[in-house]
A and B are shown apart, each in its own frame.
Chain A
Amino acid sequence: GENVEQHPSTLSVQEGDSAVIKCTYSDSASNYFPWYKQELGKGPQLIIDIRSNVGEKKDQRIAVTLNKTAKHFSLHITETQPEDSAVYFCAASRTVPSGANSKLTFGKGITLSVRP
């Protein structure tokens, strides 16, 4: 089955700096890659996603890049703010022929701390 690895496990940056979080996946058939942000006491919140037919996607301060050949994808956060501090999860899934929503396989998560 799919295996998603996320590194580093913790990341600390100064406010205003950029943060980059990387994930690798094992299943070459995976074609959907979402990123989630989870704050304490809350469920994961979808912040951006990318499909395998696209190499990069941007939404304001957040961007995601995908390298299908190397089977890795990265989350880029620019101009970080203290409210960006949270646990970030990457995930991967593949289209299921039956049309069902395929299960998401998650990385272990990274704790991002933004120092004011």
Chain B
Amino acid sequence: KAGVTQTPRYLIKTRGQQVTLSCSPISGHRSVSWYQQTPGQGLQFLFEYFSETQRNKGNFPGRFSGRQFSNSRSEMNVSTLELGDSALYLCASSLLGAENQPQHFGDGTRLSIL
């Protein structure tokens, strides 16, 4: 079974630009969560999507947004990029259940802002 696939693996952008990252979940998984990983702040939750709806959101500015498609694939978008947005962006997928289900991560997209 293929794991979580994130594209692209690496991105270099300049301040003020916008970027879109893509995530394909494990087949059959319908919940997709996004996390930002930096050396200073560690792993921080961005948002979670299920059935094309954002159901949970972390404490990030409105420049960070996302969406989910009917096939469960998800994208996140960051507008007006800032130097501090340089990070590893991780996507995790899980089954939907009554209780918290294990989240499985992709290898991330490394975003560098110049």
| Interface residue ranges, A against B (CB under 8 Å) | 31-32, 34, 36, 41-46, 49, 51, 89, 91, 93-96, 98-109
Contact = CB atoms under 8 A, between A and B. Distances in A.
A100 B45 contact: no
A92 to B, nearest CB: 10
B102 A49 contact: yes
Contacts, number: 74
A100 B43 contact: no
Interface residues of B, number: 28
The secondary-structure label for the interface of chain A is loop
A45 B106 CA distance: 9
B64 to A, nearest CB: 14
Given A42-B107, A43-B90, A100-B50, A106 B42 contact: yes
Contact of B99 (A32, A44, A103, A109): A32
A41 B100 contact: no
Contact of B100 (A31, A44, A46, A106): A31
- Report the 4 A-B pairs with minimum CB-CB distance, sorted nearest first: A103-B45, A100-B55, A43-B105, A32-B100
A98 B90 CA distance: 24
Given A96-B56, A106-B42, A43 B106 contact: yes
Interface string B32-68: 0101000000111100101000011010000000000
A104 B99 contact: no
A103 B56 CA distance: 7
A46 B56 contact: no
Contacts of B22: none
